[in-house]
Structure 1
Amino acid sequence: MAELLARCLENEGVAYLFGLPGEEIIPLVDALDRTSIRFILTRSEQAAAFMADMYGRVTGKAGVCLATLGPGAINLLLGVADAHTDSAPLVAISAQVGLSRIYKETHQVVDLVSLFRPVTKWCDTLLTPAAAPEMIRHAFHVAQTERPGAVYLALPQDVALMAVPPGLRPLRAQPVPPGAPSPDQINRAAAVLNAAKAPIILAGHGAARHRAQAALVRFAEKLQIPVAATFHGKGVFPDDHPHALGTMGFMMHDYVNFGFDQADVIIAVGYELQEFAPARINPQGDKQIIHLHSFPAVVDANYNVTVDVTGDISAALTALAAKVSPKRGLVATEQKIRCLLREELERGRTDASYPLKPQRLVADIRAALGQDDFALVDSGAVKMWMARLYPTYRPNTCLVSNGLSTMGFAVPGALGVKLAHPGRKVAAVTGDGGFLMNSQEIETALREKIPFVVLVWVDGSYGLIKWKMEMQLHRFSHVEFGNPDFVRYAESFGAKGFFIRAADELLPALKQALAADTVSVIACPVDYSENARLTAKLGELTQPAELRCGSNGAKG
């Protein structure tokens, strides 16, 4: 039966499978050698799941990860949950004990289906070879259909060895295109928007997944409406566009929030509630909301949708634009917001202090990478700075874990992204805490000849928790740690290592590393005293009139 299962995976267009072999999964691993699928042997099952997670994020096709039973399957769980909460299509397969003993207490038995059920769209056990074509087809269909997410399938050891009934073969894949939006809902949305005085657009993950950039730009330009993006929506509306407001989702009331404070109508394009709580954009629950997505809105007290336009996002934007006249209600505020963000990044670009300011790191990363290249940004203080300030011009090119905010995904995830897009540069941008959670996958990348760059922001602490402790308690504890010699650590794997000792060394090191056909690790000390300065500055701003674009970038 393992041979049939391997053919079913190949039939689904699986090009890579990430995982670790184990005794109970040997037949399937062996069968994969007789397909076109490339098996990527990883150093941990968690990393395998993160690779599949990020592969799915940037391709729209389900990434696939594989593990043995018991501890192997359990190690997949975090990456599976991350994919599910971030709407990334993923198929996880693991071995399970045989049917002859699954019903009783026995060696390595765990109810894996119950374990995976809360973090998947669908999960089950393959009980007979005859079910393999249907269950594999169903798994990929569910994982890739909106809203995409993770699925899990358990393969009992004895089922993998069973004979296959004659004539059994994989089922043909049938993609499901998004439906057309309802004309009635378009008309209702147009009526709300035509009556609006100060509308604003929020572009979310769904807009990025559906590649709605061109339609969104046309919509914003025709109607003259400013656009903010969620962390997952970064790049679906280019940050160099005159209507771009930057990114919504920072932990405090940021510049972009003032646009939402003044808006009377929010056009939520592909926004999903797990990206951030809607109270951040509609704290009083008094704004009218037009929801445009391929699936209906989820109910929330602060996301009480006025009109729900369900269907193809680009088609909905085009149809709505044809029925609405231009709006210019937020001109002054949007200009101030863009100016403040531009000033903050520009100050960082020219700051020569050492350790480097976060703004300088962001500016140099942007200068080193092309507009189509990828930055995978790990969770922590590094994510806050990159998500706020990193200018992004293409969807899904600044990748964060947001639904679950998982640490340790960026390094293994970079392998999945590079395999999906081998012609584009890939950088994993991570704190020193997150880096050491999955840095063993440097060996995987070197062995599999998958070049990418790791930029480690070094501060010797769990920086975001330290930042929040200082905000809440005015002190911190239990967040600081020691680090290895990062250069020697990288070189011990056979990778290149760099340590930055002056601000003007970072950009040349990034360019050199990105040009190299290998794995490079760049360690750069960061000055996180800027965290407190930023929160103090934002805390001073309470009214839109207080936004000042000038030498101080704040009041006065």
Structure 2
Amino acid sequence: MGTIRMTMAQALVRFLDNQYICVDGKEIKFVEGVATIFGHGNVCGLGQALDQNRGALKYFQGKNEQGMAHLATAFARQNNRRKIIACSSSIGPGAANMVTAAGCATVNNIPLLLLPGDTFATRQPDPVLQQVEQPSSLTVTTNDAFKAVCKYWDRVQRPEQLMTAMINAMRVLTDPAETGAVCIALPQDVQGESYDYPDYFFKKRVHRITRSIPSSEELQDVVEAVVTSKKPLVICGGGVKYSEAGKALLDFCENFNIPFGETQAGKSACPSGSEYNLGGIGVTGNLAANQIADKADLVIAVGSRLSDFTTSSKWLFKNPDVKFVTINASRFHAYKMDAIKAVGDAKATLEVLTELLRERNYRSAYKNEIRDAKAAWDKEMERLAACSYGENFKPEIEARNPGSIEEFAEMTGSSLTQTAAICEIRRTIADDAIVIGASGSLPGDLQRMWTTDVRDSYHMEYGYSCMGYEISGALGVKIAEPEREVYAMCGDGSFLMLHSEFFTSIQEHQKINVLLFDNASFGCINNLEMGNGIGNLGTEFRYREASGDLTGSFVPIDFAKIAEGYGAKSYTVRNLAELKAALEDSKKQNVSTLIDIKILPKTMTHDYLSWWHVGIASTSEKPSVCTACEKKNQHLAQARKY
């Protein structure tokens, strides 16, 4: 055994450069590069190592640590979890900024490697700049905050500890059932300490991602559940995408006449044009999927976490005899809804089940229900596309928030409704364009209304619904797929919260397109509060009045000028003709673009046979709140309890 003397940080960089995965016989370099914002906690250690010799690793300069980590998460997600970008920060606020992104990656089961700097292991200069001192324990630092939002956490207190820390990091990052955020905290003094590392630590490592199948007993349980059902329904979750099981799921449904609904993570794993694809399901689902779900006697969830938005807070499936089957690589997720479990890879499991069910000559009892449900939704889509602010739509939207719509229309000169704008965008952009979203009302509209027959063209972060993911995520997706147009579907509230990596897209010559829906509000939450009897409090962007309340006129913002300042091409649109012209012109640009779309408030889609369980005051002086609480209790009585 030979040894190589180097610093811990140098050893880390060399190790990362030699990690590969193998899926279906195809070998892929796992770590694309390192994104970082240098500070005193990492520049002299990890920074020196990257400067000296980073091998084939690329370096990415972030502008905000949270945004930088969102970029890395989106990159990994668009690569179906087969490539990652590691993220490094200084200690203190730089590290804390990444905690939100870690939670986002873990909730969505996306591999994210975080390498935050840490305080001195020797404690000699304590308290070092940016150190949080806890009198109860000097071992606690900012990086302990990552423990709640990571799948694996470690701190390298001595240079030789790096070896076991990184082997375990790779174990989690490459495990389809357990992957998520991994935090390896790096004390800044240890980063520069040297050790005689064994040369085998730096050998090329190939982590094999295998396709496990459930036990024969589990498979037989699923088969019996299917063959005794008449009206089964499949839920296509994110695991279908990551397993690349779209074709297997489509074959399964076509063979046995079974319709399927899509979660946010599963959308675009299968073509929207399939006669069996009902579209989005759940709280933000459409009429077709939720109508079929209402009467289903068997729900087969493939690669889904079965979140409250997918199950409509366990209220959606009302057939008293309904049963649940779960196909999931994670035993934890497979146990949800007291389901009949099949723990295994989505693609491999669906292929085996298809053969087993063929032997039983199974076919569902659906006749025209699937076709009729889709036709009814198509008709509703035509109505949504035609919505304009006039006599045909004005009463409907003003009932949701009297006065705000007219005020916004007068201030901006806009006549654009959100539903019509989305339909125009879908008609105009390329078929293989990738849309990204995360928060606000847009995820609901997009899950219901967006259609695509190009796989992996819909990228929605809705597990954490993390505001600020959209623009950072768009850049991560563009780095993953540089030949395709990428569109960040972003609300004004989310843009204001985090858009720093928009500048990074300019710096990297990576064109992204930001479609900014400006309705001068946190519109989704404004709907939620007013729909549950609460007043219009703190969710619109208004001036503060002399009385002390934020009830003045809307605050106008020229988002196009912000984009121009970064060097992007920008547009402001107020009607469908201007929107179409801007979309067409943006296709011709080589630089990132931003279209400031002035959207009338309250013109998004709303519930379709769904319910979302939120906490509502059980005692109130307002009759409207009491009424909302009564409705909640009625729905809750109909929901499943586990």
Separation of aligned partners in 1, 2:593 and 2:440: 21
Q: Does 1:117 align with 2:155?
A: no
1:157-212: CA deviation from partner (whole Å, max 9, x where unpaired): 11111112154442523223121332332222112211111111111111111110
Q: How far apart are residue 454 of structure 1 and its match?
A: 0.1
SS at match of 2:244: coil
Distance 1:108 1:221, change over 3 A: same
Q: How far apart are residue 31 of structure 1 and its match?
A: 1.9
Separation of aligned partners in 1, 2:562 and 2:333: 46
1:95-137: CA deviation from partner (whole Å, max 9, x where unpaired): 1111111897654334244211110000111122223243223
Residue 63 of structure 1, aligned match among 55, 73, 85: 85
Q: Does 1:465 align with 2:525?
A: yes
Judge conservation of contact 1:19–1:40 (CA < 8 Å) in 2: yes
Aligned twin of 1:128: 158
Residue 587 of structure 2, aligned match among 484, 506, 514: 514
Aligned twin of 1:380: 440
Separation of aligned partners in 1, 2:432 and 2:194: 48
Separation of aligned partners in 2, 1:175 and 1:355: 54
Q: Does 1:185 align with 2:207?
A: no
Q: Does 1:25 align with 2:42?
A: yes
Judge conservation of contact 2:287–2:377 (CA < 8 Å) in 1: no
Separation of aligned partners in 1, 2:124 and 2:291: 57
Matched positions, count = 536
Q: How does 1:188-337 map to 2 (within 5 A)?
A: 188-250=221-283, 254-274=287-307, 276=309, 278=311, 279-282=314-317, 286-298=321-333, 303-305=337-339, 307-324=340-357, 325-337=361-373
Separation of aligned partners in 1, 2:368 and 2:511: 45
Q: Does 1:73 align with 2:95?
A: yes
Separation of aligned partners in 1, 2:533 and 2:351: 49
Separation of aligned partners in 2, 1:394 and 1:272: 24
Distance 1:48 1:55, change over 3 A: same
- Residue 13 of structure 2 aligns to which amino acid in structure 1? A
- Residue 321 of structure 1 aligns to which amino acid in structure 2? T
Separation of aligned partners in 2, 1:299 and 1:9: 32
Q: Does 1:95 align with 2:117?
A: yes
RMSD: 2.4
Distance 1:371 1:145, change over 3 A: farther
Judge conservation of contact 2:334–2:343 (CA < 8 Å) in 1: no
Q: Does 1:9 align with 2:16?
A: yes
Greater Rg over alpha carbons, structure = 2
Judge conservation of contact 1:233–1:395 (CA < 8 Å) in 2: no
Q: Does 1:501 align with 2:536?
A: no
Aligned twin of 1:170: 202
Q: How far apart are residue 512 of structure 1 and its match?
A: 2.2
Separation of aligned partners in 2, 1:515 and 1:140: 42
Query: Is 228-237 or 136-145 further displaced after alignment?
Result: 136-145
Judge conservation of contact 1:45–1:67 (CA < 8 Å) in 2: yes
Q: Does 1:42 align with 2:26?
A: no
Separation of aligned partners in 2, 1:77 and 1:213: 32
TM-score by length of 2: 0.79
Separation of aligned partners in 1, 2:426 and 2:341: 37
- Residue 371 of structure 2 aligns to which amino acid in structure 1? Q
Gaps of 5+ in 1: 540-556
Q: How far apart are residue 277 of structure 1 and its match?
A: 6.0
Aligned twin of 2:186: 155
Judge conservation of contact 1:457–1:526 (CA < 8 Å) in 2: yes
SS at match of 1:256: helix
Q: How far apart are residue 493 of structure 1 and its match?
A: 0.9
Aligned twin of 1:544: none
Judge conservation of contact 2:89–2:116 (CA < 8 Å) in 1: yes
Separation of aligned partners in 2, 1:120 and 1:425: 32
Q: How far apart are residue 474 of structure 1 and its match?
A: 6.2
TM-score by length of 1: 0.90
Judge conservation of contact 1:62–1:140 (CA < 8 Å) in 2: no
Separation of aligned partners in 1, 2:285 and 2:534: 17
SS at match of 2:369: helix
Aligned twin of 1:404: 464
Q: How far apart are residue 490 of structure 1 and its match?
A: 1.1
Q: How does 1:525-544 map to 2 (within 5 A)?
A: 525-531=598-604, 534-535=606-607
Separation of aligned partners in 2, 1:537 and 1:20: 46
SS at match of 1:428: strand
Q: Does 1:85 align with 2:107?
A: yes
Judge conservation of contact 1:178–1:294 (CA < 8 Å) in 2: no
Residue 172 of structure 2, aligned match among 117, 121, 142: 142
Separation of aligned partners in 1, 2:222 and 2:275: 25
Task: Report sequence identity in percent.
Answer: 26
Judge conservation of contact 1:275–1:403 (CA < 8 Å) in 2: no
1:208-240: CA deviation from partner (whole Å, max 9, x where unpaired): 111100101111111010010111111122211
Q: How far apart are residue 71 of structure 1 and its match?
A: 0.8
Separation of aligned partners in 2, 1:283 and 1:463: 30
Separation of aligned partners in 2, 1:196 and 1:370: 40
Separation of aligned partners in 1, 2:251 and 2:88: 42
